[in-house]
Amino acid sequence: MSVLTLGQVRIHAGSSTQEAALQEATDILVTAGAVTPAYVDAMRQREETVSTYMGNGLAIPHGTNDAKDAILGSALSVVRYDGGVDWAGEQATFVVGIAGKGDEHLEILSQIAILFSDEDDVEKLNAAQTPEELFALLSAVNE
For helices 119-127 and 131-138, give the axis angle rounded to 10 degrees: 160
Please state the φ and ψ torsions of residue 42, each to the nearest 5 degrees: -70, -35
In terms of DSSP H, where are the helices of the chain?
18-31, 39-49, 104-117, 119-127, 131-138
Task: Provide the CA 51 distance to its chain's centre, in angstroms.
Answer: 13
- The active-site residue, picked from 35, 43, 58, 62, is 62
Q: Is 62 considered catalytic here?
A: yes
The set of catalytic residues is 62
